[in-house]
Every structure is written in structure tokens, then in C-alpha cells.
């Protein structure tokens, strides 16, 4: 073999080595390009958008997202929506009717309460080719068995997630955990503070740290979850506006109102007992007590920093604690609505 041939062969060998080294890089680039393309979400539909949270999510999507947003409601529903929103109607008990309505949608955000209705919605979403299903969580951390043990109605929510986990080859999901609705909770007194009577009901001394989220921020979080569809796939996503305690809230409202509020102390154990007894008799008015015992009780079951917040990863902006409280006390919500 001439030395020239040997050189040529060496050159070819080197070339092959470079190619072999480049292959994983090329594969990686291709894979990312490919996944980004398949996960591109364009059409989003909100199902059951008439309640407390729905209007805020809808507003956030219309104002702050690039998505084509529609709402799906029951045939007989009388809910009204902003004129720019396309309203789709379906029979929630019929997979066929739901599948027809969901054709062309890439993501479904469910605000539907009933677990059985959510399961039909999952089946219809799969049949319609929807990529991402966001089940009706938005509240307590139902991924924690200690939470579910205290609030048995959460078993339904857990069941929906478990069902989605069996369908991951066909559809992906994200469970968005927000803690109590912060501004709304102040507005209606759920956080234990009553602006009308300037009274505070503190649970277990008001010391438990909890995470809470303003309704507008929940809408923004959902937009980001869909924008980062690959990272947020098949996971619980924890977001919040603030971490605080009932005592800190009381100090803030007393500062804002310039008055001392009347305080009542209660124990979470009593709330669990009362709420549990009512619920056992089929009286759903026991649920708020169970939720409050959970959120503000000494076990601190609603502190989402334990699981790790996604706020930074999602690029959510910080909100004003004081302004959020002022809005809630005035019977309003924080952020543009």
C-alpha cells in the first residue's frame, strides 16, 4: 500500500469517527425539534368556566396568551362569556357529543367538579386527539395522602389523576396545585378574616405557613404550563402567589385598616370533627371546615414549598402582598380582571 493510500484511509477513518461523534448531537437536535413540534399547543378549551375560577382563567388566556381559546359548556347552561370567545356546547354525559365538540383542540382545562364527568371528558379528549388534559385540581395538594385522609371528597380528584396516569401513552396531563385562592379567599372570608365585622378566626394559633394563589395568577400559571408543555408533562405543578400565615395576614389587615380586629381561636381537631360528622351525614356544608383545618392547621399541609414551587421555572412574576390583601378586603380580585 502506498503511503498516499494509507493517508487517504486514515482520513476516511477520522471522518467516520467525527460522524459517529456527531450522531448523538444530531439526534438530540432532531429529537428536540420534533418534540417541540408535536407539543405545539394552539387551541385551548376551558370546560365548565362559569364558576369562581373560570372567569379569571378565561380573562388571563384572552389577554395574556397566544392561544385560540374556547369554552365548552353544557347544552342547557345559561353561563355567559365575553363576546370574543367561541362557545362550544355538548352533552357532558355523552362521549360522542363531547368528542365532536373537542375535535381540533390541543389542550383541555377542566373546571368540572364531578369525577365521573371528568373521566368521560378524559375519554372524549383522547378520542378527539387532544394532547394535554389539565384536570380540575387548583387547590389543595391531593397528591399528599395526609390531605386526602382529612378531606375524603378529594378521593374523586385523585381518581381522575390515577385514570390519566393509565392513559399517558394517549394523552399527557398536568395537575396544577395552587393552595387556597388568595384574593378570592379574602373576599369571601375563607382565609378566616371577615372585613365586614373586622373579626378573625385563627386556627391552631394562626401559625401555620400556607401557600395561596390569586385567581389571575392561576390563569397565568396555566398559560405557562402549556407553553412549557414538555417540562410540565405528567406531573403535579405547584405554584403560589404567597407563603404566609393567618397571623401575618391579621397583622397586615390591622395595619391596612388601622384598627384592632376581634380574634377567635379554634382548633383544627374540632374543625375536622365537626366537618367530618356533617359530611358523614351527607351534609356538604361540612366541607369548608375540613378544608380550613387542612390549610391552616398545625400540620401545615398546604405549604407548597415542601414539594417545590414552579414559579421561577415558569417565569411567573411576583405580586404585591399588600395590594392583594387590599383588593380582597374591598371585595375585589387582584390583577387585571
Ligand X SMILES: *[C@@H]1O[C@H](CO)[C@@H](O)[C@H](O)[C@H]1NC(C)=O
Q: Would you call 179 helix, strand, or coil by DSSP?
A: coil
Which is closer to ligand X, CB of 84 or CB of 312? 84
Which bin fits 74, alpha (ψ -120 to 50), beta or left (φ > 0)?
A: beta
Closest listed residue to residue 53, CA positions, set 224, 219, 178:
219
Residue number, 82 or 104, with CB nearest to ligand X: 104
Is 43 or 307 the residue whose CB approaches ligand X more closely?
A: 43
CB of 72 to ligand X, least distance (A): 9
- Shortest distance, position 78 Cβ to ligand X, whole Å: 21
Residue 237: partners with Cβ closer than 8 Å, 6 or more residues away: 174, 175, 176, 177, 221, 225, 310, 314
Pick 44 or 266: Cβ nearer ligand X: 44
- Judged by beta carbon, residue 100 or residue 234, the one nearer ligand X is 100
Question: Cell for 211?
Answer: 401557600
Find the residue with minimal CB distance to ligand X: 68
Residue 16, H or E segment = helix 3-38
Shortest CB 101 distance to ligand X, Å: 8
* Member of 82, 104, 315, 331 binding ligand X (CB under 6 A): 104
Exposure on the CB side of residue 63, measured as CA atoms within 13 A: 14
Task: Measure the CA–CA gap between 114 and 166, rounded to whole angstroms.
Answer: 19
Question: Which of 83, 166 has the CB closer to ligand X?
Answer: 83
Alpha-carbon distance of 220 to 310, in angstroms, equals 12
Nearest distance in Å: CB 53, ligand X: 21
Distance from C-alpha of 108 to C-alpha of 45, rounded to nearest angstrom: 5
Site string for ligand X, 116-155 (x = CB under 6 A): ----------------------------------------
Q: How far is the CB of 131 from ligand X (least distance, A)?
A: 14
142 secondary structure, DSSP code: T
Of 82 and 152, the one with the shorter C-beta distance to ligand X is: 82
Question: Is residue 100 a contact point for ligand X (CB under 6 A)?
Answer: no
86 binds ligand X (CB under 6 A): yes
Pairing of strands 235-238, 172-177: parallel
- Rounded to the nearest whole angstrom, what is the least distance from the CB of residue 226 to ligand X in the complex? 15
Looking at beta carbons only, is 43 or 79 nearer to ligand X? 43
Per CB under 6 A, contacts with ligand X among 33-72 are 42-43, 68, 70
Give me the helices (H) in 43-114, please. 54-64, 95-102
DSSP string, 95-118: HHHHHHHHTT-SEEEE----HHHH
Q: Tell me how far, at minimum, the Cβ of 315 lies from ligand X, in Å.
A: 25
Number of residues in contact with ligand X under rule CB under 6 A: 6
Q: Shortest distance, CB of residue 70 to ligand X, whole angstroms? A: 4
Cβ-contact 278, 286 below 8 angstroms: yes
Binding footprint of ligand X on the chain (CB under 6 A) = 42-43, 68, 70, 86, 104
Amino acid at each position: 500500500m502506498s503511503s498516499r493510500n494509507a493517508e487517504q484511509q486514515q482520513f476516511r477513518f477520522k471522518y467516520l469517527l467525527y460522524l459517529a461523534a456527531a450522531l448523538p448531537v444530531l439526534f438530540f437536535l432532531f429529537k428536540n425539534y420534533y418534540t417541540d413540534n408535536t407539543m405545539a399547543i394552539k387551541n385551548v378549551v376551558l370546560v365548565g368556566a362559569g364558576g369562581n375560577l373560570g372567569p379569571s382563567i378565561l380573562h388571563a388566556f384572552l389577554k395574556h396568551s397566544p392561544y385560540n381559546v374556547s369554552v365548552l359548556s353544557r347544552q342547557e347552561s345559561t353561563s355567559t362569556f365575553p363576546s370574543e370567545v367561541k362557545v362550544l356546547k355538548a352533552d357532558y354525559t355523552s362521549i360522542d357529543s363531547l368528542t365532536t365538540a373537542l375535535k381540533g383542540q390541543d389542550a383541555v382545562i377542566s373546571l368540572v367538579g364531578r369525577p365521573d364527568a371528568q373521566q368521560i371528558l378524559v375519554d372524549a379528549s383522547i378520542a378527539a386527539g387532544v394532547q394535554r388534559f389539565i384536570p380540575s385540581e387548583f387547590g389543595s395538594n391531593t397528591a399528599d395522602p395526609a390531605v386526602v385522609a382529612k378531606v375524603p371528597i378529594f378521593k374523586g380528584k385523585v381518581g381522575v389523576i390515577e385514570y390519566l396516569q393509565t392513559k399517558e401513552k394517549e394523552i399527557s396531563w398536568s395537575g396544577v396545585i395552587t393552595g387556597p385562592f388568595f384574593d378570592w379567599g379574602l373576599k369571601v372570608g375563607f382565609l378566616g378574616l371577615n372585613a365586614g365585622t373586622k373579626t378573625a378566626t385563627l386556627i391552631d394559633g394562626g401559625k401555620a405557613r400556607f401557600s395561596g394563589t390569586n385567581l389571575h395568577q392561576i390563569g397565568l400559571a396555566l398559560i405557562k404550563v402549556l407553553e412549557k408543555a414538555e417540562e410540565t408533562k405528567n406531573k403535579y405543578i405547584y405554584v403560589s402567589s404567597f407563603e404566609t400565615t393567618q397571623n401575618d395576614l391579621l397583622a397586615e389587615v390591622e395595619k391596612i385598616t388601622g384598627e384592632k380586629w376581634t380574634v377567635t381561636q379554634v382548633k383544627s381537631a374540632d374543625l375536622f370533627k365537626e366537618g367530618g360528622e356533617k359530611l358523614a351525614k351527607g351534609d356538604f356544608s361540612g366541607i369548608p371546615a375540613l378544608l380550613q383545618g387542612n390549610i391552616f392547621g398545625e400540620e401545615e399541609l398546604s405549604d407548597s414549598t415542601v414539594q417545590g414551587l414552579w414559579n421561577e421555572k415558569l417565569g411567573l412574576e411576583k405580586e404585591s402582598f399588600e395590594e392583594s390583601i387590599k383588593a380582597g378586603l374591598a371585595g375585589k380580585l387582584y390583577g387585571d380582571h
